[in-house]
Each structure stands twice: as structure tokens, then as C-alpha cells.
Amino acid sequence: MSTKDRTLQRYAETGLDRPRRRHERTAVPATDIEENSDQVVLRVDLPGVSEQSARVTVENRVLTIHGEPQVQAPDGYSLVRADQRFAAYWRSFELSEDLDTSGMKASMKNGVLTITIPRRAEARARKIDVTTE
């Protein structure tokens, strides 16, 4: 099994879903997952979602991402009616034990949410010097 396949297997969706309200639409945001020996980085496409309405939570090693796009009127105008409806974004991932969720960071830029999760120190690759006796 390739490294990419193992990564996707370890961070695959849990299949957990939130209860939906009647007539509510949800969408699964596109997500890129990258990893190295020090950390895992998720880049989640959340177009129309502000950093204030993006929500990232971790509970029982399940990372959940939620965001609701907002309809906004252009500067100088007030919204009178909004027929456009946008689906809320919702996605969950089960995290492996080698990740340190207490050191997670999240940032938002141009509709892309970037989540960085460091690996636990004991899970990181390290070089061990070999000495002569």
C-alpha cells in the first residue's frame, strides 16, 4: 500500500454525520491532505464562508469542520431579499493517535481553511546516531 493510500486510510472520513434540520442543505467541502514527518496539513475549500462563521472542533479524536456561507450585499446596499441559498459545509475526519490535537492551528484565506496538526514528538521520525564501543 502506498504512503498516499495509508494517509487517506488513516484520515478517511468517519461517516459520522450531524442531524439535519428539515429542508437544510449540506455539502462536503473539497479537502487536500498533505503530510510529512512533523505534521499533517488539511486545506479545505469553503467558498463564501468567513473566518467568523468557520468552525473547527475536535472531540474523541474526530475533527469536524463546519461553515455556513453568508449572502452579503455590496458596499452601500442593504439586503432586501435573498433567493440564493447556499448549502452549509460539513465534514468529519477520524484522526490517528500519532497526532497532537492540542497543538492544532487553523487559518482562513480566500475561502480556503488551512488546518495544521503536529505529530506527537514520539511519533516523529528522528535520526539516531550510531557510535562505536
The pLDDT value given to residue 26: 85
Give the model confidence (pLDDT) of 16-53 as tens digits. Answer: 444 445 446 789 999 999 999 899 999 999 998 999 99
Give the model confidence (pLDDT) of 59-109 as tens digits. Answer: 999 999 999 988 777 888 887 877 766 789 999 999 999 999 999 999 999
What does the alpha-carbon distance between residue 104 and residue 32 come to, in Å, rounded to a whole number? Answer: 17
Question: How many Cβ atoms are within 10 Å of 44's Cβ, its own excluded?
Answer: 23
The pLDDT value given to residue 7: 46
User: Which helix (H) or strand (E) is 109 found in, with range?
Assistant: strand 105-109
Domain ranges of the chain: 34-72+85-123
Length of the chain, in residues: 133
Question: Cβ neighbours of residue 1 under 8 Å, at least 6 residues apart?
Answer: 9
Pick the CATH number of 34-72+85-123 from 3.40.50.10800, 2.60.40.1120, 2.60.40.790, 1.10.10.10: 2.60.40.790
